[in-house]
Amino acid sequence: MKQVLTIAGSDSGGGAGIQADLKTFSALGVYGMSVITAVTAQNTEGVTAIENISLEVVTKQIDAIFSDFKVDAVKIGMVSNIGIIKAIAAGLKRWAIKEIILDPVMVSQSGSYLLKPEARVALINNLFPLALVVTPNLYEAEVILGREINTVEEMKEAARDIYQLGGAGVLVKGGHLNGEAVDVFYDGAEIYEFTAPRIDTRNTHGTGCTYSSAIAAYLARGNDLVTAIKKAKVYITGAIKNSLDIGHGPGPIHHFYRIWK
């Protein structure tokens, strides 16, 4: 079985973060492992506390996994601060893994900072160059570039410009624009568009985490990057369509919709 690692934060509510990543890996037929960077106290209504894991324990988790397993792909999510970013970069360089999907997580759906604003430059400088692809949503792409993005054409320009920052492929996710859900991917040579119908639901907690994990899983299973993104978009569209109306805030998407309702 292919083996996939998530490096991310815990969402106690089970909808996003490490929990979403491991559910996605399990749903898509790969063996999931985790390096936990932070623990959030969280439910569908918001985040009430965050505790970051020490740099020593982040590093030890990375080394424990790579010294034993053959890691076929890595997904990176919440990385909290500059120290954790540097520990992850050093660990991944030490183990020379190339199949890295980086979700540049900045704020939770409910508006809490999951990455310290002063750590944004460190994320770009230390982790973008190691990644095969980075997956900013519109807000994250706007923060990275310091300008507004309002159209699909501007998403394409953003993908090209973010590519210049670190040399990783760029998937700009347009889920927050109006109309169809269009994502734009630039691999350094060509622009690709992925389109899915917009689903009218507020239950989208964990969509970004799940998307990048699904790309990692499909990549580990031998798909090329464009095919992996295409299949991951089909998977998250189904998971949103079958999302769960549980909790009092925006509910989670249904990772196992292909197995049970």
77 touches ligand PXL (CB under 6 A): yes
42 touches ligand PXL (CB under 6 A): yes
What does the per-residue mask of binding to ligand PXL show for 199-238, with x meaning CB under 6 A?
---------xx-----------------------------
Of 3-11, 65-73, 126-134, 152-160, which segment contacts ligand PXL by CB under 6 A? 3-11
48 flagged as catalytic:
no
Q: Which is nearer to ligand PXL, 77 or 169 (CB)?
A: 77
151 flagged as catalytic:
no
175 touches ligand PXL (CB under 6 A): no
Q: What is the CA radius of gyration of the chain?
A: 17
251 touches ligand PXL (CB under 6 A): no
210 flagged as catalytic:
no
Minimal distance in Å, beta carbon 112 to ligand PXL?
Answer: 8
Minimal CA–CA distance to 244: which of 233, 256, 235, 232? 256
Structure tokens at 124: 């770009």
Give the footprint of ligand PXL on this chain (CB under 6 A). Answer: 8-9, 11, 16-17, 40, 42, 77-78, 105, 108-109, 114, 208-209
